[in-house]
Structure 1
Amino acid sequence: MSTSITPEKLAELDNLLDRQQVLDCLVRFSRGMDRFDRELFLSAFHADATIAAGPFVGGPADLYDWASELHGQGQSATHHNLLNHTCDIEGDVAHTETYYLFVGRNRDDSNWIAGGRYLDRLERRDGRWRIALRTNAIEWSGTAPTMPIPYAEVPDIHLNGTPARGKDDPSYRRPLTNQRKTHIPD
Structure 2
Amino acid sequence: MDVDLAALQTLLDKEAIREVALRYARGIDRHDDELLLSAYHPDASDDHGSFIGSSAAFVEYANRVHARNWVCHQHYITNQVIDLHGDTAHCESYFLAVLKRPDGVCDMVGGRYVDRIDRRDGHWAVAERICMVEWNAEAAPGAAAFDASIFIAGSWDRSDPSYTRPLRVERPPRDLSLAP
Same fold (TM over 0.5): yes
Task: Deviation per CA, 1:98-130: give whole Å up to 9, x if none.
Answer: 000010011222100010000000000000000
The DSSP-based 3-state class of the residue aligned with 2:71 is: strand
TM-score after normalising by structure 1: 0.90
**Aligned equivalents of 1:63, 1:70: Cα separation in 2:** 10
Answering whether residue 117 of structure 2 is matched by residue 122 of structure 1, we say yes
> Partner residue of 2:39?
44
Alignment partner, residue 70 of structure 1: 65
* Residue from 146, 157, 171 that aligns with 2:162: 171
Residue correspondence of structure 1 range 53-64 to structure 2 within 5 A: 53-64=48-59
The aligned residue for residue 138 of structure 2 is: 143
Name the SS of the counterpart of 1:21 in structure 2.
helix
100 and 183 in structure 1: CA distance in 2 versus 1, 3 angstrom threshold: same
Task: Within 5 Å, give how 1:83-162 maps onto structure 2.
Answer: 83-147=78-142, 150-154=146-150, 157-158=151-152, 162=153
Measure the CA separation in 1 of the matches of 2:120 and 2:49.
Answer: 27
CA 1:125–1:74: 2 relative to 1, 3 Å: same
Structure 1: segments with no counterpart, 5+ residues: none
Residues 1:30 and 2:25 are matched in the alignment: yes
- Structure 1 vs Structure 2: percent identity of aligned residues? 36
Distance in 2 of aligned mates of 1:131 and 1:137: 15
CA apart distance, 1:153: 5.0
Shift of 1:182: 3.0
Letter in 2 for 1:165: W
Where in structure 1 do 4 or more consecutive aligned residues deviate above 2 Å? 147-154, 180-186
Root-mean-square deviation (CA, aligned residues, Å) is 1.4
Between the aligned partners of 2:66 and 2:155, the Cα distance in structure 1 is 13
Residue 4 (str. 1) matches residue 2 (str. 2): yes
Deviations 1:23-46 (A, max 9, x none): 101111111110000000000101
1:153-173 C-alpha deviation (Å, 9 max, x unpaired): 54xx43xxx311111111001
Give me the whole-angstrom Cα distance separating, in 2, the residues matched to 1:129 and 1:75.
31
Counterparts of 2:22 and 2:172, CA distance in 1 = 32
Count of paired positions: 176
- Equivalent-residue separation in structure 2 for 1:163 and 1:174 (angstroms): 16
Letter in 2 for 1:126: D
Unaligned runs of 5+ in 2: none
Distance 1:153 1:105, change over 3 A: closer
